[in-house]
Structure 1
Amino acid sequence: MNDLQTLRAALAVEEPHQDVVDRSRHRLQNRIRGGRVSRRRTGRLIAGAGLTVAAAAVAIAVMPAAPVDGPAAVRTISGQEVLLVAATAAERSPEGSGTYWHVKVTVAHGVAASSEYEYWIKPDGQSWMRGAKTGGKVTPLKAHSANPFSLVAVDLTLEQLRTLPTAPDALKAWIAEALERSDARTSAGEFTASDREQAGFQSLISLVSTLPATPEVRATAFRAIAGYPGVENLGTVPGGLGLSLPNGERLVVDPATGRVNRTSVFVTMDGAVAKVADPAGATINAEWTDTLPA
């Protein structure tokens, strides 16, 4: 069985028993990965599979809808299916470790210009940032936060983040309840039910893109996002597969590794939502590190 046949079998249109679906997705990931996981979180050849990350993304984006010896029909894999494959990859990815949680966001402004927003957070609440406001220098923030990691309008400790529910409905319910209890306000003052719903969705995006969630929680967030209607696969783009999400948000996901490489929306250190005008979104790099630049 070749790679395209494996992908088609793993993501069949029929709805088999969930155990069969899970086993198929595991076989798919093993085929893509060649049974091994690269410890580097950036682009590398996937050992043993003979596929680069980009080739794997193409294979998932478009594959035969009919048997190999049948008509040459082509079926585009849905956005939901892309997210479910990414969820399995995220679940199997190494968690990583380090002294600081480091997030770097690069936003393009036209062809030649860009701006960077970068921060480092220690689990005890110490934090540093670098960006336009700091003149490009790494600057420690004066105040330590007891809850240094932010969903939209919900601040968490690392331990709270690591122990979030690992079932999609339970995770969504936890976030919704936390938002209900929060003192968040919009620019208009009132934080409506619609605002909370959007904040809940954006919180899921944060869990798969910029927060140090466990592999299980990240996988759960991917599956929760896949459960929303209107998720569309935009095809192969730099960094993976482009996805159009509800409320106009976009992600670029590498389904072979479960990484989000670009996003049109992210949450800053203080829990504020930043939206990117460029349809391609901002480049995201988030990982644990032991290095704090001078």
Structure 2
Amino acid sequence: MNDLQTLRAAMTPDEPSQDVIDRSRHRLQNRIRGGRPSGRRSGWLIAGAGLATAAAAAVAIAAMPAAPVDGPAVRTVTGQEVLLAAATAAERSPEGAGTYWHVKVTGADEYEYWIKPDGQSWMRGAKTGGKVMPLRALSATPFSLVAVDLTLEQLRALPTDPGELKAWIAAALERSDARTSAGELTASDREQAGFQSLISLVSTLPATPGVRATALRAIAEYPGVENLGTVPGGQGLRLPTGERLVVDPATGRVNGTSIFVAMDGAVHKVADPAGARIDAEWTDTLPE
């Protein structure tokens, strides 16, 4: 039995008796009658200055109770199990293809960008007045792991072993010339940037299915990942640093987040209490 099958079995209770079904339906009917209740480095530096206190500001994603009112007890599915099931699903998903890598973050504000592998890029958001605007600078390394910039080829060649992937990111951060307002990156800064790099790999970067699955497994290795229950888009997870993700274990997709890494490497905290929806895919369409 694989991770996804284990997760489904854990989340699916035994069939309740007809008496339980009748009583639950009666309660539901009564409730219904009663009413329904700027530069690539500088972008990271500006955001990075507040990384040490960012966990306290992470937003809450409301969780819905998953257990029935009556019936047999349902085993609690851990956050680690959700991530491992999502990794299995991600590994089997198609990679997709297109001219532009398109990312749309929808919350209280909307942020959207398109990137070609050659470095041409466009964005739409509050800074562009809601219009699609080309970015003047042509970057040879248009994809960002927080403080580490990569080509598409380098991104696709990342290790597919969790330990090796974390070691690769750590070594790249050691070589990085990124700095905070207080000076060079401390060990704590690099550790947090490494964790946020894993989040960007599973949410906003065109990683291969194998690399995305590896990043999900690497996140699962951190202690303290908590499953908040069923939410729109999947399972709500609280990460050890306080950030929230919405992960669909059936598809391996991250559909919601309280944190995202923008195309310039800046780390953004989402102010919307419901978090932000993430849509990321290859496309051949560039809006006018």
Structure 1 stretches of 4+ with a deviation exceeding 3 A read 59-64, 66-69
TM-aligned CA deviation for residue 282 of structure 1: 1.1
CA pair 130-252 structure 1, distance change in 2 beyond 3 A: same
1:211 aligns with 2:205: yes
TM-aligned CA deviation for residue 61 of structure 1: 7.1
C-alpha distance in 2, partners of 1:178/1:292? 32
Return the index of the structure with the highest Cα Rg. 2
TM-aligned CA deviation for residue 279 of structure 1: 4.1
Q: Which runs of 5+ in 1 are unaligned?
A: 1-9, 11-23, 30-56, 109-114
C-alpha distance in 1, partners of 2:9/2:167? 31
C-alpha distance in 1, partners of 2:227/2:240? 12
1:189 aligns with 2:153: no
1:240 aligns with 2:234: yes
1:170-224 Cα shifts (integer Å, max 9, x gaps): 0000000001110111233331100100100000000000000000000000000
SS of residue matched to 1:233: strand
Q: TM-score, normalised by structure 1?
A: 0.76
C-alpha distance in 1, partners of 2:226/2:12? 16
Task: For 1:62, give the aligned amino acid.
Answer: M
C-alpha distance in 2, partners of 1:244/1:288? 28
State the partner residue of 2:221: 227
SS of residue matched to 1:225: helix
C-alpha distance in 1, partners of 2:199/2:210? 15
C-alpha distance in 2, partners of 1:192/1:277? 27
State the partner residue of 1:62: 11
C-alpha distance in 2, partners of 1:274/1:60? 36
Aligned-pair Cα RMSD in Å: 2.1
Matches within 5 A, 1:66-215: 72-108=72-108, 115-215=109-209
CA pair 72-269 structure 1, distance change in 2 beyond 3 A: same
TM-aligned CA deviation for residue 68 of structure 1: 9.7
1:232-280 Cα shifts (integer Å, max 9, x gaps): 1000001110000011111000110000000111111111111113343
Q: How many residues align?
A: 235
Q: TM-score, normalised by structure 2?
A: 0.77
Q: Say which of 254, 274, 279 aligns to 2:268.
A: 274
Tell which has more relative contact order, 1 or 2 (C-alpha 8 A, sep 6+).
2
Is residue 10–residue 74 contact of structure 2 (8 Å, CA) maintained in 1? no
TM-aligned CA deviation for residue 60 of structure 1: 6.6
